[in-house]
Chain A
Amino acid sequence: MSLLNYFKTSKPKTAALAKERLQILIAHEKSMQNQPSYLPELQKDLLAVIQKYIEVDQDAVSVVFDSDDDQETLELNIILPEHQHT
């Protein structure tokens, strides 16, 4: 390996970024497969209710279903817009 190869390989590593993006995406898609079938509807309805009061983006509401051996949980996340004073 020449000295110049050293500079060549010191570029930012996009492979690590690719791996991270894939892990997040695939974990998400797996969790979607096991989730109860009512979840998308629930998410839609929740978003509609929240939008009655607050101007939020359509991806502002996320409902995450999680289950382990002894319990199942629903985690609700709502991202509010910045500086919302009404």
Chain B
Amino acid sequence: MARIIVVTSGKGGVGKTTTSAAIAMGLAKKGHKTAVIDFDVGLRNLDLIMGCERRVVYDFVNVINGEATLNQALIKDKRCNQLFILPASQTRDKDALTKEGVGKVLEELSKTFKYIVCDSPAGIERGANLAMYFADDAFVVTNPEVSSVRDSDRMLGILASKSKRAESGDEPIKEYLLLSRYDPKRVKLGAMLSVEDVQEILSLHLLGVIPESESVLNASNSGTPIILDEDSDAGQAYSDVVARYLGEEVEHRFIEEAKKGLFGRLFRN
């Protein structure tokens, strides 16, 4: 049986796709067979972030409609043989995803995969609802910023009431906070909400803090999940997140401003 993880936020552009690509790669690199699914119908982007955009032949909706088998649609990652990508459809048909269809695909994937990572679209419409409906765990990606925190809170309400687990009275979805685009310098200046602030408001288990990092743009430019950039702070932060999720005890990093040596200071301007 697979564990289904939804990466969600409510608000757009907070780092869901970046996170989905990173943690899927991280889990796969740890030897767990992992599938990552793009639920953003009409605005496919996970393929670009994963660097497999030229290998897309069939998509999620093709599989749901029986136009392709799951094996035909899954793209095997070239860097890690435990990782598979299921791209979103570019159709403009908003009703292309159905609960039954998504359920069937997840059930079939569950037979052979250990983890299924669902990259949710923004908003609280059909795509976002279906991405979280079947989840066992939710990674709530939040930026330290008022509207993102509020939308995350709204999403938590939806996870607790509209999911399959909620409807069937099972144990609720496990919710984790992933605080992303964190800038300790601005927190220190009092210009940005701190980890403690956000945790106090959302009262969620903190899985990790991902620093605001230039390397994320470089990674997406080249189609490499940021977790593979082991020299970058954001990449390391995602590695920690994966380790913590898998039960390892890893101390939190990137919450305080890094103390730069002389060399580091020279390189900042």
Contact = CB atoms under 8 A, between A and B. Distances in A.
A58 B53 CA distance: 15
Interface in B30-85: 48, 53-55, 57, 72
- Describe A's contact surface by its main secondary structure: helix
Nearest to B62: A40
Interface in A12-28: 14-15, 17-18, 21, 24-25, 28
B218 interface: yes
B221 A59 contact: no
Given A14-B218, A14-B221, A15-B221, A21 B266 contact: no
A29 B267 contact: no
Contacts of B218: 14
Contact of A59 (B57, B217, B269): B57
Interface string A37-64: 0000000000000000000001100000
Contacts of A24: 54
A24 B56 CA distance: 13
5 contacts: A2-B266, A17-B221, A18-B222, A25-B48, A29-B90
Nearest to A13: B221
Interface residues of B, number: 16
B224 to A, nearest CB: 9
Nearest to A22: B48
B70 to A, nearest CB: 12
A4 interface: yes
A28 B55 CA distance: 12
9 nearest interchain CB pairs?
A: A14-B221, A18-B221, A14-B218, A14-B222, A17-B222, A25-B53, A59-B57, A58-B72, A4-B266
B53 A59 contact: no
Interface of B: 48, 53-55, 57, 72, 90, 217-218, 220-223, 266-267, 269
Given A14-B217, A21-B53, 15 more contacts: A4-B266, A5-B269, A8-B267, A14-B218, A14-B221, A14-B222, A17-B222, A21-B48, A21-B223, A24-B54, A25-B48, A25-B53, A58-B57, A58-B72, A59-B55
B225 to A, nearest CB: 14
Contacts of A18: 220-222
B30 to A, nearest CB: 26
Contact of A2 (B53, B55, B222, B269): B269
A34 B77 CA distance: 30
A58 B58 CA distance: 10
Contacts of A59: 55, 57
Contacts of B57: 58-59
Contacts of A28: 54
Nearest to B71: A58
Contact of B54 (A2, A4, A15, A25): A25
Nearest to A59: B57
A29 B53 CA distance: 11
A58 B69 CA distance: 11
A21 B48 CA distance: 9
A18 B48 CA distance: 10
A58 B218 CA distance: 31
Interface centre among A5, A17, A18 (most CB of B within 10 A): A18
Nearest to B68: A44
